[in-house]
Structure 1
Amino acid sequence: MLPLPFSPLVWLLLACVLVQLFYFAYYFLPFANRPPEPTAEEPGPDEEPVSILICARNELEHLRQLMPLLLQQDYPAGFEVVLVDDRSSDDTYLYVQQLTQYYPHVRLVEVRRTPDGLSPKKYALTLGIKTARYPRLLFTDADCIPATNQWLRLMQRGFAQPADMVLGYSAYAPAPGLLNKLIRFETLVTGAQYLSFAWRGKPYMGVGRNLAYTLQTFRSTKGFASHIRSLSGDDDLLVQDAVAQGARVAVVAEPSAHTLSEPAAQWGTWWRQKRRHLSAGKRYRFADRWRVGKFIGTNLLFYFTAFGLLFSRPDWIPLAVLWSLRTGAMLLTYHQLGRRLDDRLPPALLPLLDAIYSFYYLALGISLFLHRTLRWK
């Protein structure tokens, strides 16, 4: 048998690159370059009234920023804002109660105690949904703001595709420092996955900062019943259950339909936040875990394999070729995604951010395996 011209690690590296190129070419780039969605100025099917739901705990300062922007939403069909005060110890209740006196379409639901063993946020959201007047529900978080006063109108356009759920994108505000750029990179890559997979007909998650679904969809899953004791998953696990029940999922990703969130300012805060978010992944359908895991896994394996090839001088040339090929494709893909989602990052930092992102996820996975205790704020 003739010896292979390169070491087995080169072929492993090639396999990783080919998998990555498939995701770039089949999911991410076509999604980034898809035809533009209708603008707010164009006529559209947004004649149904909507209930906007926010669950807040000790978020008074954020609510002072968010509520005026929600009340200014341009939506002729009408809407209500249901604010669920989840055991706050600040003046959230008094602030929202004052708003209800001036704005009849602002409604307050107070949660004084969460039953033992139940997820606090899911319990609070369930009470809010039971109070909602309208069959279309739109969700965001207290520490988010809509990108424009057309957010509500554009998110409702997704139901006309037709759909039972609408997935939106929620970006993080730019700020100085490596942590901010890493948070925004992770958000961009995660958004590229769940939005492009759904666009290709394989929805698996959404983010509660910008998510809409019908009351009937919530009822078809029996609410959060299948995971009410799990701390996380009020968004992605609900999508999992809804898709299993045959729900149709649409994507609305135009920048005017985004929400903007305040990112964590400390590494520890982001670490705890990501641990809580990733803990729901074990409940995903196997096909979804395989699809997402294959992308992240080959990303990580690429770096381990490339590092091993650094010690094999005869393999430096194929290593350089494959590294350059993947890096070029990655820069092109993430640049196009950043342009389409209006969430741009410095191109020179993308290779570094991609490497940190891969190993950060490995560390998170190990942490969740060894220490499974989570907490809601």
Structure 2
Amino acid sequence: MLILLYIFIGLAVIQLAYYLGVFGQFAFAKAQQITPKRIPISVIVCAKNEEENVVKYIPLLAEQNYPDFEIVLIDDASGDNTLEIFEQFEKQYPNVRLVKVENNEAFWGNKKYALTLGIKAAKKEYLLFTDADCYPTSKDWITAMSSQFTMQKTIVLGYGKYEKIANSFLNKIIRFENVLNTIQYFSWAKLGFPYMGLGRNMAYKREEFFNVNGFIDHMQIRTGDDELFINQAANGKNTTIAFTPESFSVSKPKTTFSAFFNQKRRQIATADYFKSADQFKLGLFYGSQLLFIITAAILFAFQFEWIIVLSIFLGRYLIAWIVVGFSAGKLKENDIKWWFPIVEIVLIFTQVNAYFTNLFSKPIQWK
């Protein structure tokens, strides 16, 4: 039991190192300022069977308060009315450019192929990405995201919120998990070790895409047009983050646990292709998190040095809660911090379940 206590203490040290040394980089960062720039921007949206969403959200993009931008709409061989709606937008808005993707036997159903065609069709040097089911939080979204570009910083990672659903515990789980993921990739980016971003809100200079030959190194992997690209192209010199409220995008969350679970499986499957160092730092965090709970439970069950164990256990949760709370405040997600201890445990075992499920079957990919 003494050895288990030492292991428990070691796991607590690892967790505190992550929360204070890494995640604290974002949690306690100074508020960001928006300094408007007049950088030419191509907003790129790839859609497949999204007629209900594009009708509502593309006009919000067209109404952005920005002096020089175009919207590149990519229809990825949709089977519904998405293409027809895009054609109407192309006629309605002079700055809309339409890219029609036909089914290609070699790249059938591959979003990366469709995005590649859209990126090549874009006329501006700076590209801003969002998904068809997303909308900006303000008319200054482009301004806020593009304001973080500099001569050196040519990749900007943004925050993609999920809509709140009243009286839904699942919604709190989804939003909390999204906040925790954002805290991680924002913090590592601030430390100079970016490893991922989300396609529903990210931007980069066109040359970054061609510097790594686009998606060619992972074209065979259906997911990762955002995560794997950033994992390959981003570094401490060229990457920054945007976290002013005006820079956020919003999308609809999953409404069933099975849909959320499948999404989690896809995320885990994609992370398997990260660089080894990034897999290690993520694995160490999640592994120590799980083992911390398990060792604490065993020590409590045998009441071994329970005062020491309880003190360390509560200390870890207090510090983690503070870091998550400050981060959630920056992301305007204050309500979820009160659910931290409960939701964290649910997420830990959901992650473990998704990981082992992936060992026996492959998750469903792009539509």
- Give the TM-score of the pair, scaled to structure 2: 0.96
Q: 2:218 is matched with which residue?
A: 227
**CA–CA separation in structure 2 for the residues paired with 1:296 and 1:118:** 35
Q: 2:115 is matched with which residue?
A: 125
Q: 2:202 is matched with which residue?
A: 211
Consecutive unaligned residues in structure 2, runs of 5 or more: none
Contact 1:231 1:374 in 2 (8 A): no
What's the CA shift for 1:277?
2.1
What's the CA shift for 1:314?
3.1
Aligned residues with identical type, % of pairs: 33
* Match of residue 182, structure 1, among 155, 160, 173: 173
Deviations 1:236-273 (A, max 9, x none): 111122137x8610111112101011000011111122
**CA–CA separation in structure 2 for the residues paired with 1:239 and 1:326:** 31
Please say if 1:88 is aligned against 2:78: yes
**CA–CA separation in structure 1 for the residues paired with 2:104 and 2:143:** 33
Q: Which residue identity lines up with residue 361 of structure 2 in the other structure?
A: H
**CA–CA separation in structure 2 for the residues paired with 1:26 and 1:368:** 31
Q: Which residue identity lines up with residue 193 of structure 2 in the other structure?
A: K
Deviations 1:52-108 (A, max 9, x none): 1011111111112211210111112x1110111112122111111111112111111
Deviations 1:144-176 (A, max 9, x none): 111111110111112126312110011111113
- Relative to structure 1, the CA distance from residue 352 to residue 83 in structure 2 (aligned partners, 3 Å threshold; closer, same or farther) is same
* Match of residue 65, structure 2, among 67, 74, 97: 74
Q: Which residue identity lines up with residue 3 of structure 2 in the other structure?
A: P
**CA–CA separation in structure 2 for the residues paired with 1:321 and 1:152:** 47
Partner of 1:231, secondary structure, is: coil
- Give the TM-score of the pair, scaled to structure 1: 0.93
Q: 1:282 is matched with which residue?
A: 272
Q: How do 1:1-377 and structure 2 match up within 5 A?
A: 7-39=2-34, 43-44=35-36, 46-76=37-67, 78-116=68-106, 120-160=110-150, 162-175=152-165, 176-243=167-234, 248-377=238-367
What's the CA shift for 1:375?
2.9
Residues matched between the structures, number = 366
Consecutive unaligned residues in structure 1, runs of 5 or more: 1-5
Partner of 1:314, secondary structure, is: coil
What's the CA shift for 1:373?
4.8
Partner of 2:129, secondary structure, is: strand
**CA–CA separation in structure 2 for the residues paired with 1:243 and 1:177:** 36
**CA–CA separation in structure 2 for the residues paired with 1:372 and 1:306:** 33
**CA–CA separation in structure 2 for the residues paired with 1:118 and 1:332:** 46
